[in-house]
Amino acid sequence: MTRRLHQVEALTLIADAWNSDPDSYTEGLVEATVVPLSVEQARADVDSYLARIDDQIDPDSIEIIADRLEDSDLCATRIIIHLEV
């Protein structure tokens, strides 16, 4: 049986994988934009983090979307994590 990340796990993923803070977090959702980061690298980082967790995490609960900051040529990635509530 799969589950979603808990809030503390999602915040740990963002802090450990990308040395970043979330843009926002509410009950049920954590969002972060990480620069510079490609979608491919973000997916690899997420997969690596999930491999270290004993439980089975629903991979569809973590969205990874290509993004771009205004007035910047740097690639950015939006991470949206739907939490276990």
Q: Where are the domains of the chain?
A: 7-82
pTM for the model stands at 0.89
- pLDDT tens profile 52-68: 886 789 989 999 999 98
Listing DSSP states for 13-59 in one string gives: HHHHHHS---SEEETTEEEEEESS--HHHHHHHHHHHHHTSSSPB-G
Tokens of 64: 């990874």
- pLDDT tens profile 1-30: 789 999 999 999 999 999 999 999 888 999
